[in-house]
Amino acid sequence: MAEYRQAAWEEPLILEYRARGPGYVVSGPDEDIARRVGEYRLPRSRAYRESAPRIPALSEPELIRHYTRLSQMSYGVDSGPVPLGSCTMKYNPRIALRYSYDQRVRALHPLQDDETVQGLLEVMHELQEWLKNILGMDACSLHPAAGAHGELAGVLMIRKYHELRGSTGKDEIIVPDSAHGTNPASAAMAGFRVIEVPTGSDGNIDWDSFKAAVGERTAGLMITNPSTLGLFEERILDIAREIHGVDGLLYYDGANLNGILGHARPGDMGFDIAHVNLHKTFSSPHGGGGPGAGPVCVRDRPVSGGARLPDLLPGPVVVREGRRYKLKWPGEKSVGLLRAFQANTLVLVWAYVYMLSLGARGLRLAGEVSVLNTNYFARKLLSLSKGGYSMPYGESRPRKHEVVISCERLREETGITAEDVAKALLDSGLHAPTIYFPLIVREALMFEFTESEPKEVIDAYIERLLEIEETARRDPEKLRKAPTRTSRSRIDTVTANHPRTVTPTWRVERLRKEGVLGPLR
Ligand SMILES: *Cc1c(COP(=O)(O)O)cnc(C)c1O
């Protein structure tokens, strides 16, 4: 086995371990069980494989060590801070884990009769109610699987709204240039033309460009408020009036709600539809690609012929009848099912436990602490920086859940880029922020500390960023080589992203060539 461990952090694929006879011997069934199994029809023999599979045979300790080593190669909120902006990487409380992984939740089947899952339906119903209150909305569907999926549900509802009203020619969605990339993507997927409007130097939408974009073809507007710059849109009520004036709908991207939690509600700002990422704001774990949850909520607005916006919601919605709960499946006005079944249920239970464990006051406080953390970080960093870091757009305005720092001046002066800064942070054991997003900020470093991080962590980032600024002027080459203390050194991102050069399964391919694995079928 040692021959595979080239470097301290080099862990072979499980398929690269050599087969050495059975690693684990399963004893045959005892007579009693064998007799009882015999009473059932076993699969016919052609369903059995002819030879043993060529898989490595490892003992239990070898297997455990393999997976433990892999887990130690990764980094997450349990090992240190992850201040990725627009990601809300907050601590995932263990109490929520305990309940969402409870056997009584995990063992349920989505096809079970409503009568047999009353407890879970009650949890889902309560969660719908909490979300309606938090967002200032009138109806909620927990159906979408993630944020972008919630957005798609929302824009499909906008399309349906105009269809049902017989408004033809409404084919444009307005999106600010600071938007998360999923917004224009969702609008385009739903068949809309995306009209991008620029951000003014104060961080608000540029009013004249916005006014020029609004017209008869406007089907709706998609924005996140606070924006990805962490800034609250100060003219949101005027914006809502303009959009409603041309019978458009306002869509609220509520992926990162921390900044306004318990203080402001999209429904009160004039939004008609909103989604929330439970796997960001409400603490369920994310970062590995799922599972997530992107519930979508709406105001109770008339559509046409007696239909109202809640009738358009996707998927089943949990309704209460007397003391019983049941799933109300989508009717003909609905945008329908966007996936199988209700949602990623464990994530829903997780978010609900998180909400209950904090209560309304605790959620509000979580939001406040996240805003305090952002502004403490930004003010202190900028006041101590020797000019390499700046905070573009509305420089004097307080930020909400996150802040975008630019190191453009540092790059102009020393050649050191946002990527170099991010890589250098890794060498201190600190996870990098989001970089090069939003696209309107050059050399962007986007920090979101959430309420989870203590002052000491934020101070450590500030200290390290200032050291990096100094090193950039003194010894920039050193920074270009970073990181040197991680399991992987700097990856050539161009090669790594090019479809022709990247072979994500190179080891598997090698094993195929060597005949260890059979050919692909
Ligand atoms: C994360 C995020 C999304 C997308 O959410 P997913 O669950 O990753 O699909 C959309 N908008 C904003 C502002 C986000 O931060």
- The confidence score (pLDDT) of residue 46 equals 72
Picking from 336, 426, 468, 397, the residue whose alpha carbon sits closest to that of residue 83 is 426
Distance CA 49, CA 140 (A): 49
| Preceding amide of 392 cis, omega within 30 | no
As given in the structure block, the two tokens for residue 122 are: 């009650």
Residues in contact with 71: Cβ distance below 8 Å, sequence separation at least 6, in sequence order? none
pLDDT digits (tens, 9 = 90+) for 264-282: 999 999 999 999 999 999 9
Cα torsion through 183, 189, 191, 193, rounded to 10: 40
CA 265 to each of CA 133, 135, 136, 137, 251: distance values in angstroms, whole numbers, following the listed order: 8, 5, 5, 8, 13
Give distance in angstroms: CA of 182 to centre of ligand 1. 7
Architecture of domain 94-110+117-353: 3-Layer(aba) Sandwich (3.40)
Q: Read out DSSP for 25-82?
A: PPPPPPHHHHHHHHTSPPPPGGGS-SS--------HHHHHHHHHHHHHHS--TTTS--
Q: Answer yes or no: is the C-beta of 448 below 6 A from any ligand 1 atom.
A: no
- The confidence score (pLDDT) of residue 502 equals 67
| 131 SS3 class | helix
Q: CA angle at residue 207 from 203 to 213, to 5 degrees? A: 120
Kindly report the protein residue whose alpha carbon is nearest to atom 3 of ligand 1: 147
Helices (H), 142-256: 147-164, 182-189, 207-213, 236-245
* Fold match between domain 94-110+117-353 and domain 360-497: no
Residues in contact with 10: Cβ distance below 8 Å, sequence separation at least 6, in sequence order? 4
pLDDT digits (tens, 9 = 90+) for 41-66: 566 667 777 777 667 778 888 889 99
Number of neighbours of residue 283 by Cβ within 10 angstroms: 26
Residues in contact with 232: Cβ distance below 8 Å, sequence separation at least 6, in sequence order? 225, 226, 259, 260, 264, 400
Q: Quick one: CA dihedral 117, 119, 121, 124, positive or negative?
A: negative
**Whole-number percent of the chain with pLDDT over 90:** 77
Number of neighbours of residue 336 by Cβ within 10 angstroms: 16
In the sheet that holds 296-298, the strands lie side by side as 139-141, 296-298, 273-276, 249-254, 218-223, 172-176, 193-197
Distance CA 228, CA 180 (A): 7
In degrees and rounded to multiples of 5, residue 426 shows phi and psi of: -60, -35
Could you identify the residue written with the tokens 């309704």?
319
Distance CA 295, CA 491 (A): 36
Give distance in angstroms: CA of 180 to centre of ligand 1. 7
Q: Answer yes or no: is the C-beta of 344 below 6 A from any ligand 1 atom.
A: no
Q: Residue 358, CB half-sphere, CA atoms under 13 Å: how many?
A: 23
Full pLDDT tens readout for the chain, 521 residues: 434 444 445 788 787 777 666 666 666 667 777 677 665 556 666 777 777 766 777 888 888 999 998 888 888 899 999 999 999 999 999 999 999 999 999 999 999 999 999 999 999 999 999 999 999 999 999 999 999 999 999 999 999 999 999 999 999 999 999 999 999 999 999 999 999 999 999 999 999 999 999 999 999 999 999 999 999 999 999 999 999 999 999 999 999 999 999 999 999 999 999 999 999 999 999 876 668 999 999 999 999 999 999 999 999 999 999 999 999 999 999 999 999 988 899 999 999 999 999 999 999 999 999 999 999 999 999 999 999 999 999 999 999 999 999 999 999 999 999 999 999 999 999 999 999 999 999 999 999 999 999 999 999 999 999 999 999 999 999 999 999 988 778 888 787 777 777 666 666 667 677 776 666 54
Q: Answer yes or no: is the C-beta of 227 below 6 A from any ligand 1 atom.
A: no
Q: Answer yes or no: is the C-beta of 402 below 6 A from any ligand 1 atom.
A: no
Cα torsion through 456, 458, 464, 470, rounded to 10: -120
Contact 224, 253 (CB under 8 A): yes
As given in the structure block, the two tokens for residue 228 are: 């990805």
Q: What is the mean pLDDT of the chain?
A: 91
Distance CA 209, CA 195 (A): 10
- For 360-497, CATH gives 3.90.1150.10
Give distance in angstroms: CA of 241 to centre of ligand 1. 26
Residues in contact with 357: Cβ distance below 8 Å, sequence separation at least 6, in sequence order? 93, 95, 96
Distance CA 424, CA 475 (A): 13
Contact 284, 386 (CB under 8 A): no
Beta strands in 124-279 (DSSP E): 139-141, 172-176, 193-197, 218-223, 249-254, 273-276
| Single-letter residue type at 165 | R
Kindly report the protein residue whose alpha carbon is nearest to atom 14 of ligand 1: 255
Residue 327 C-alpha from the chain's centroid: 26
> Which of 88, 90, 175, 182 has most ligand 1 atoms within 8 Å of its beta carbon, as the pocket-test mutant?
182
CA 378 to each of CA 49, 86, 433, 434: distance values in angstroms, whole numbers, following the listed order: 62, 16, 13, 15
> Which of 82, 86, 258 has most ligand 1 atoms within 8 Å of its beta carbon, as the pocket-test mutant?
86
Strand 193-197 relative to strand 218-223, pairing:
unpaired
Number of neighbours of residue 150 by Cβ within 10 angstroms: 33
Kindly report the protein residue whose alpha carbon is nearest to atom 2 of ligand 1: 255
Helices (H), 165-203: 182-189
> Which of 151, 277, 296 has most ligand 1 atoms within 8 Å of its beta carbon, as the pocket-test mutant?
277
Q: Answer yes or no: is the C-beta of 253 below 6 A from any ligand 1 atom.
A: yes
Q: Answer yes or no: is the C-beta of 224 below 6 A from any ligand 1 atom.
A: yes
pLDDT digits (tens, 9 = 90+) for 325-353: 999 999 999 999 999 988 899 999 999 99
Distance CA 268, CA 291 (A): 30
Q: Give me the residue spans of the domains in the chain.
A: 2-74, 94-110+117-353, 360-497
Distance CA 392, CA 404 (A): 8
As given in the structure block, the two tokens for residue 38 are: 């015999």
Helices (H), 417-454: 418-426
Residues counted in the chain:
521
Contact 259, 227 (CB under 8 A): no
Cα torsion through 361, 363, 366, 368, rounded to 10: -60
Q: Residue 434, CB half-sphere, CA atoms under 13 Å: how many?
A: 21
In the sheet that holds 403-406, the strands lie side by side as 403-406, 444-447, 434-435
